Structure 1
Amino acid sequence: MLVSINWLRDFVPYEGSVQELADKLTMLGLEVDEIFHPFELLEQLVVGHVLECEPHPDSDKLSVTRVDVGNDEILDIVCGAPNIAKGQNVAVAKIGSVLPGDFKIKKAKIRGVVSLGMICSERELELSDDHSGIMVLDESLEPGTNFVEALGLERTVLDIDLTPNRPDCLSILGVAREVAMAFNLPLTMPAIAPMEEGDEASSQVNIVIDDPEQCPLYQTRLVDGIKIGPSPAWLRYRLLAVGLRPISNVVDVTNYIMMELGQPLHAFDRDLLAGNTIRVAVADDGMQFTTLDGQERKLLDTDLLIWDSEKPVALAGVMGGANTEINEGSTQLLLESAVFRPASVRKTARRLALPSDASHRFERGVDQVGNTYAMNRAAQLIQELAGGKLLSGVAKAEPKPWIQPQVHFRPERASRIVGIPFEPSFCAKTFTALGCRLEEEDSSDWLVYPPAYRLDLEREVDLVEEVVRVYGIDRVPETLPVVSHEMGRKSGSKQFDFASLIKVWGRGVGLNECVNYSFVGDKELDFLGLPQEGRVHIANPLSEEQNVLRTDVGAGLIESLKFNLSRGNSELHLFEVAKTFHADPESDTKTREEERVCILLHGNRYGSGYPWPQEDCDFSDLKGLLLHLFRSLHLPEASFACVDGHSWLSPCISVSINGSGVGVAGMLRSDLAESIKTRSDVWYADLSLPQLQAIKDQCRIAFEELPKYPPVRRDVTFVAPLELAVGSVMESVLGQNQKLLEKVQLIDEFRPENGDAKNLTYRMTYRSPSKTLKDKEVDKTHTKIVQAVVKELAVSLQ
């Protein structure tokens, strides 16, 4: 919202500094983004008096002038305007001046005559589109007077950034109310006394509103015998200062009132309206309507229109129609002033990509009570600027009159919310300054009646906000809230707490956590060979790259891998805790969700550079992380087995605990890895969080006494076929159920070149809970186990 300081002073006699005003408004919640001079470039111009004007000796269309620009300075200027004449006061740009459009004035020789400046037209100064001749100024002005000062142009405009809940401040009047309240100044409203004559307007126009919810109020005034022409300079300059382009006297008045009072108005050429009925009703679905900008719009049956007796004539609250536009030949005027449902205007304006100053205000709500005042002020200005006869009375329909809300307010409650005591007298003074009416001021529970222009005051907390806003948010001391903390307190959600535990683990082992969008593209899922069945497509996707919910967390992690590889980052140790989504007709939401934890490894297993060796991650790194996770959750031993048929992992290993599958691990298929230009193997694991949590819930941590006696260790090497799994030997050893055997672990594997067997070396640990073992006791048990394994698995001893 652009606010002219001079215009503001028409309402409040503020005489302080502009910076003080800007600071105060900002602290009141009306943030001033910028203080600027809308006519800054014109400050370089001066008023000049034409002393002599003679025809150019070498041109029929040019004139040579001598211009007094003050301070005893006379300039010779060549001018091409047909209306230049001796004795005129004109706008002069001296050498070195820069005009709008970055046009710099330089000394020039025009057909042999030196020109030391430029006499300007209104278009060259961007004050209007008139380029028929130079701008002739008031003859009473002194030569050398600053041009901006001479014309009374606005020197200071505030650019205020408003929040959507303050539509009352989308006007000079609204900001003036805030200034009057903040500085304890009187607020003066412009006097209106339109001269009425002739027939009653209500007898000339019948207004019909189909749906009161869509349009609570619609009223019009009629003016006959108007003359369309340019607006006076003061009006044009004020509109330019706040960013609006002058058009004609009637249209400029409607824009002026919109900026001044916040009420959008619309002027129809009454001669172009069919019949004597104005109807507010929705459009026919699919109908075409041409707006003032000349564009044909396709409408829906939810778009609200203004109709005459035969046709639509305006998009309600958004833009008028080209078929009833005010033009140079218009003589009869119907002035519309209405209130429309904000949601209806907002939907229409956004769907048609047709924002306007009017829709911006209607979308946020306008003052239904002040509507009549705005219309009458506009009618009076039109009379003054365009002439004509204003018909008596108003043609009006108000099927849903405004009802003043009442809001309870407790001063003590306000003090508790903000944390500082407020005097009831201060609260009462604040509400009165805001235009509210009070009842029961002496009680602890007041009734506050907000004015019609404060649509945001609906609840007690809104009134509390007003009190602290006026008191000064900067005056409220900073205090830390009281936070009660219980040791070991959790969120209350077992699933959330378990997922948080997994995230803490992942960061603790040095993995980097990823948070990817739940939305992916079909092409990402197709790349991984995931089935089409079960995908949940988005009805209104942000883009084709995000048109479906992921069915595998890997889709996002692979994209993270590609993104990093393309930027030269190849050492990736990633994990993500996220949900997958699958279509499920039996679910209430038609979608089944499952939370997963996934790990992706690529590149060097250690940090880069000295002293770390350059070794790429392999399956042992991935398996080690999984085993570490299971141990940190106190889960039973996991088992791993090769499986076939995974769509994008090869080899693929199933991961099971207590015979229940909890996920898979493996390597990204080589063809897929090659297509995304990986620099080493990509290892990936995908585990189900609900299954891990269910297993954890069934486990009980058992405490054992620390061993008192020393262990005895024996190593044995088996020669086994290449296809024999390492775990099969360990299962066979443990399956002998020897009480002295404490644990068995693989410590070495050797595969001879061109051989058909491998050497597996295991270390077996023996211990007795009651005594120190002797060698012969250990040898006896060890021999029994080794012989049993050789017999069961067809392996041999080295």
Structure 2
Amino acid sequence: MTISYNWLSEYLPISEVGMAEILAPEKLAKILTSIGLEVESMERHERVKGGLQGLVIGEVLTCEPHPNADKLKITTVNTGEPAPLQIVCGAANVAAGQKVVVATVGTTIYPATGEPLTMRVAKIRGVESYGMICAEDEIGLGTSHDGILVLPENLVPGMPAADYFKPYSDWVYEIGLTPNRMDAMSHFGVAKDVCAYLSHHHREVRPVSPFTDTWKADNQSLPIKVEIENTESCRRYAGVSITGVIVKESPQWLKDKLVSIGQRPINNIVDITNFILHETGQPLHAFDAAAIIGNTVIVKNLPEGTAFTTLDEKERKLGADDLMICNAREGMCIAGVFGGLKSGVKENTRAIFLESAWFNPVSIRKTSVRHGLRTDAATRFEKGVDISNTVNVLKRAALMIKEIAGGQIASDIVDVYPQPLPKTEVALKNHYLKKLSGKNYHPDKVKRILTALGFEIVKEGLDELLVAVPYSKPDISIPADIVEEIVRIDGLDNIAIPSSITISPAVDALGAKEAWKDKMANYLVGQGFAEILTNSITSSKYFDEATLATTVKMINNLSAELDVLRPSMLETGLETIAYNINRKNNHLRLFEFGKTYAVDAAGVYQEPEHLCLYLTGKQGEDGWRARASQLDLYAAKGVVSALTALCGLTDLRFTRPDEGVLLLEFYHGKQLLGTLEEVSRKKLQAFDLRQDVYFIDIQLTALLKAAGKQKIVYKEVNKFPAMHRDLAMVVDSVTSYEAMEAVVHKLKLPRLKNMQLFDVFESDKLGAGKKSVAISFTFMDDEKTLTDKEVDAMVAKLVQGLEKELGAEIRK
């Protein structure tokens, strides 16, 4: 939410004694933050860059031709100083006796285009120049460069140019509103909060109301009837006709206000409705009265699929739930969301019908999301607007239009309000206030705060206060909401921090699971991985029809790109990889804990947890001693083995279910723990990736279940030395290392502690379809030192088994 300091000040009692200092821009920012309207930034806004600082009014005393240039002139200019300045000027229209704008030496000017320029003493064609006589584009006042600015003769030399032109400047606050603070989505709403704070902490004040009691219709020449068919979606609708308007550019003061908060001025009618929106929080809509066929406005729903062209010239298919503002023949506007092309105000519009209404927040939100129209009006309506202010706002807007756009108010206010909405009443007990806030409040202080915020005291008891909630605060419905209002106006800093807190210890049922996750995360970070967190909502375009058949689809997706819950974590991870690689971060090892989602049948959903890892690029950086190794399928397999070993699972089994793709499944016993794959070229191309990516998908629940069954057994560190033997053998090229492990394990040698592959060599000299494999074996006895004879005997069994089972040929 963007708030202008100048605009906000119009509703604050700054003119009262002592208030100007209290409400200075910096101090006001602190007040706003203290009452829950957190000021995220405070920036200077200037219509003219630099605010014309340093520029002065000058009088040209003399103007002579330059001796060395036909198009230049030498002038002397009175700038209010004891001695006139000599300035070389190239403008054709400069002449003696003119009042002009002068940039003296040391002044920085900000041209309409280009970079700022600081004036220095210059020698132009041999003549010294002590400043510049300015054109409007050279100082940011406009775009014309036809000649220097010539000002009225009555101006006094030396007068600051800013005092004459009065360029608009302001302080602009960016406020981080919480979703429940609809009441603060306007300048007047913020002013009411600030005045409540001042009334509590200083002296009682009231905001300066923008509403007046000067309302009166000029005639009844254009009465327009209003009918509400859907009273659930529209509880109140008011309107008024204005004839004889002239649609044109808005006055400068109005444009300045809108531009300061980031709004683009369009024309006086539209600008006034935008002004009222940001002043009061009430959206308005202006119709071209000529488009209201039958002089009747009907609020209703149209049939499903009805075509409607909106102001952006796009044809949209309406839903049956979309509330529409219609004339006697067709729809004119999507209620509370976006206007229609036919009924919009145009340059030739001479009569308008101005709408102010209350629309159901749920209905507006559904329509806004369905059509992807997140307008300012929809944002207000979907949070709930002040239904009691509908007519007041309409009157103010009509009077502004009459003043700025001309014309006459051509009807009385039409106000259709079938079932007036009662105020919400909330009871607050004193002991509950103390319990929730941690502070004792005097009942009179509580009443003063609530009254200042617009609450009405309905009933007062010994330990209870019954209040009626103002219509401007539709989010307040329970006692805790009232406590929040009291605490934020009184100040969170005014609540004492206790020296001790008594709590009951909680039992964390998820403690073991979270501990395992922390253990794995810490290990991966230590190995150079970085944790990521991607969006569980993703795009359906990433998946084929078979996958989408069981995918959970979003009903109220905020964009076309985010319409399903992810059935796989690969795609969201690839988005992160693509983002990094596009920024030259090519070597990545990432991991993420998350869920995927699927629907088995109506209302039957699955959301298994995963630990996913992504590897691409190199493992480390190239150095002068060695090149970094490329991350590949074996590196990924090593990560899987290390992670499962960390969980106590050492007997991992890898299988390849399909020879056509680089995909491995890994099991503990018969339990599938996950998959490891090299991402396909087709999938990489979908994300514009040109380097290999390896993806590990671990089923977290299955892994932790298996890990939980492992028993931790302590074994004394062996004090006897290990003995090593290396075997090199020639085997068929198709023989896997896993097959060699299986043969060795089948021999059941209890003193064989480890085997490690350390070399693979392939050559035609070994024979067709052959390869050489070298494995290191480690032997150890827990009770004694092994002898060479004992180790040789075990090696002989190994040789015999490998030769028999695999046809291995031991290399001597």
Please indicate, yes or no, whether the TM-score normalized by the shorter chain is above 0.5. yes
What pairs up with 1:670-685 in 2 under 5 angstroms? none
> Secondary structure of 1:212's partner?
coil
Q: Could you list the per-position Cα deviations for residues 309-358 of structure 1 after superposition, in whole angstroms to 9, with x for gaps in the alignment?
A: 23333343345445445567666553322222344445555666666554
What pairs up with 1:562-573 in 2 under 5 angstroms? none
- For structure 1, which segment, 393-402 or 325-334, has the greater mean C-alpha deviation from structure 2 after superposition? 325-334
Q: CA deviation at 1:101?
A: 2.4
Q: Give the aligned partner of residue 335 of structure 1.
A: 354
Letter in 1 for 2:35: L
Q: Does 1:156 align with 2:170?
A: yes
Could you tell me which of 216, 229, 240 is aligned with 1:195? 216
Q: CA deviation at 1:404?
A: 0.9
Q: CA deviation at 1:437?
A: 1.1
The answer to whether the 8 A contact 2:48-2:140 is kept is no
Q: Which runs of 5+ in 2 are unaligned?
A: 62-75, 200-204
Q: CA deviation at 1:640?
A: 5.2
Q: Give the aligned partner of residue 512 of structure 1.
A: 529
CA distance in 2 between counterparts of 1:18 and 1:479 reads: 34
Letter in 1 for 2:483: V
> Secondary structure of 1:159's partner?
strand
Q: Could you list the per-position Cα deviations for residues 78-100 of structure 1 after superposition, in whole angstroms to 9, with x for gaps in the alignment?
A: 9999xxxxx9xx99544579577
> Secondary structure of 1:376's partner?
helix
Q: Give the aligned partner of residue 30 of structure 1.
A: 37
The answer to whether the 8 A contact 1:428-1:441 is kept is no
Indicate how the Cα distance of structure 1 residues 628 and 442 shifts in structure 2: closer, same or farther if over 3 A, else same: same
CA distance in 2 between counterparts of 1:643 and 1:46 reads: 83
Indicate how the Cα distance of structure 1 residues 74 and 342 shifts in structure 2: closer, same or farther if over 3 A, else same: farther
Letter in 2 for 1:300: L
Q: Give the aligned partner of residue 263 of structure 1.
A: 282
The answer to whether the 8 A contact 1:524-1:555 is kept is no
Q: Give the aligned partner of residue 492 of structure 1.
A: 510
Q: Does 1:101 align with 2:112?
A: yes
Indicate how the Cα distance of structure 1 residues 350 and 40 shifts in structure 2: closer, same or farther if over 3 A, else same: farther
Q: Could you list the per-position Cα deviations for residues 535-569 of structure 1 after superposition, in whole angstroms to 9, with x for gaps in the alignment?
A: 85575798999989466879959996997899687
Could you tell me which of 747, 750, 759 is aligned with 1:732? 747
TM-score normalized by the length of structure 2 = 0.67
Indicate how the Cα distance of structure 1 residues 630 and 447 shifts in structure 2: closer, same or farther if over 3 A, else same: same
Letter in 1 for 2:170: T
The answer to whether the 8 A contact 1:712-1:767 is kept is no
Q: Does 1:638 align with 2:645?
A: no
CA distance in 2 between counterparts of 1:281 and 1:300 reads: 12
Q: Does 1:5 align with 2:25?
A: no
> Secondary structure of 1:165's partner?
coil
Indicate how the Cα distance of structure 1 residues 602 and 525 shifts in structure 2: closer, same or farther if over 3 A, else same: farther
Q: Could you list the per-position Cα deviations for residues 36-73 of structure 1 after superposition, in whole angstroms to 9, with x for gaps in the alignment?
A: 3544456467789999xxxxxxxxxxxxxx99998999
> Secondary structure of 1:403's partner?
coil
The answer to whether the 8 A contact 1:39-1:154 is kept is yes
CA distance in 1 between counterparts of 2:579 and 2:252 reads: 63
Q: Does 1:166 align with 2:181?
A: yes
Letter in 2 for 1:158: V
The answer to whether the 8 A contact 1:642-1:653 is kept is yes
Letter in 1 for 2:36: G
What pairs up with 1:317-356 in 2 under 5 angstroms? 317-324=336-343, 332-346=351-365, 348=367
> Secondary structure of 1:336's partner?
strand
Q: Could you list the per-position Cα deviations for residues 592-616 of structure 1 after superposition, in whole angstroms to 9, with x for gaps in the alignment?
A: 7464677979977x99879999999
CA distance in 2 between counterparts of 1:700 and 1:720 reads: 37
> Secondary structure of 2:444's partner?
helix
CA distance in 2 between counterparts of 1:562 and 1:767 reads: 53
Q: Could you list the per-position Cα deviations for residues 149-187 of structure 1 after superposition, in whole angstroms to 9, with x for gaps in the alignment?
A: 567775434334251433433444223323322333233
Q: Does 1:281 align with 2:289?
A: no
Q: Could you list the per-position Cα deviations for residues 492-524 of structure 1 after superposition, in whole angstroms to 9, with x for gaps in the alignment?
A: 37655554554456567x463654757899999
The answer to whether the 8 A contact 1:213-1:400 is kept is no
What pairs up with 1:111-190 in 2 under 5 angstroms? 125=141, 149=163, 155-161=169-175, 163=177, 164-184=179-199, 185-189=205-209, 190=211
Q: Does 1:369 align with 2:382?
A: no
CA distance in 2 between counterparts of 1:713 and 1:506 reads: 30
CA distance in 1 between counterparts of 2:242 and 2:611 reads: 72
Q: Give the aligned partner of residue 69 of structure 2.
A: none
The answer to whether the 8 A contact 1:172-1:260 is kept is yes
Q: CA deviation at 1:692?
A: 4.7
Q: Does 1:443 align with 2:456?
A: no
Letter in 2 for 1:101: A
TM-score normalized by the length of structure 1 = 0.68
The answer to whether the 8 A contact 1:48-1:68 is kept is yes
Indicate how the Cα distance of structure 1 residues 482 and 69 shifts in structure 2: closer, same or farther if over 3 A, else same: same
The answer to whether the 8 A contact 1:603-1:616 is kept is yes
Q: Which runs of 5+ in 1 are unaligned?
A: 52-65, 82-86, 735-741
What pairs up with 1:624-635 in 2 under 5 angstroms? 633=647
CA distance in 1 between counterparts of 2:311 and 2:101 reads: 37
Q: CA deviation at 1:718?
A: 9.7
The answer to whether the 8 A contact 2:242-2:411 is kept is no
> Secondary structure of 2:332's partner?
strand
> Secondary structure of 1:339's partner?
strand
Q: Give the aligned partner of residue 59 of structure 1.
A: none
> Superposition RMSD on alpha carbons, in Å?
6.5
The answer to whether the 8 A contact 1:47-1:92 is kept is yes
Indicate how the Cα distance of structure 1 residues 766 and 421 shifts in structure 2: closer, same or farther if over 3 A, else same: same
> Secondary structure of 2:477's partner?
coil
Letter in 2 for 1:413: Y
CA distance in 2 between counterparts of 1:136 and 1:717 reads: 99
Letter in 1 for 2:432: R
Q: CA deviation at 1:470?
A: 1.5
- For structure 1, which segment, 96-105 or 429-438, has the greater mean C-alpha deviation from structure 2 after superposition? 96-105
Indicate how the Cα distance of structure 1 residues 789 and 211 shifts in structure 2: closer, same or farther if over 3 A, else same: same
CA distance in 2 between counterparts of 1:260 and 1:641 reads: 67
CA distance in 2 between counterparts of 1:259 and 1:224 reads: 25
CA distance in 2 between counterparts of 1:346 and 1:556 reads: 31
CA distance in 2 between counterparts of 1:564 and 1:245 reads: 37
Could you say which structure has the larger radius of gyration?
A: 1
Letter in 2 for 1:638: D
The answer to whether the 8 A contact 1:229-1:386 is kept is yes
Q: CA deviation at 1:275?
A: 1.7
Letter in 1 for 2:529: N
CA distance in 1 between counterparts of 2:255 and 2:571 reads: 63
> Secondary structure of 1:176's partner?
helix
Aligned-residue identity in percent: 23
> Secondary structure of 2:212's partner?
coil
Letter in 2 for 1:183: L
What pairs up with 1:32-51 in 2 under 5 angstroms? 32=39, 33-40=41-48, 43=52
The answer to whether the 8 A contact 2:740-2:802 is kept is no
CA distance in 1 between counterparts of 2:347 and 2:726 reads: 106
Could you tell me which of 443, 461, 464 is aligned with 2:483? 464
Q: CA deviation at 1:425?
A: 2.9
- For structure 1, which segment, 513-522 or 208-217, has the greater mean C-alpha deviation from structure 2 after superposition? 513-522
The answer to whether the 8 A contact 2:286-2:353 is kept is yes
Q: CA deviation at 1:216?
A: 1.5
Indicate how the Cα distance of structure 1 residues 519 and 754 shifts in structure 2: closer, same or farther if over 3 A, else same: farther
Letter in 1 for 2:6: I
CA distance in 2 between counterparts of 1:325 and 1:24 reads: 41
CA distance in 1 between counterparts of 2:266 and 2:726 reads: 98
Indicate how the Cα distance of structure 1 residues 471 and 71 shifts in structure 2: closer, same or farther if over 3 A, else same: same
Q: Give the aligned partner of residue 436 of structure 2.
A: 417
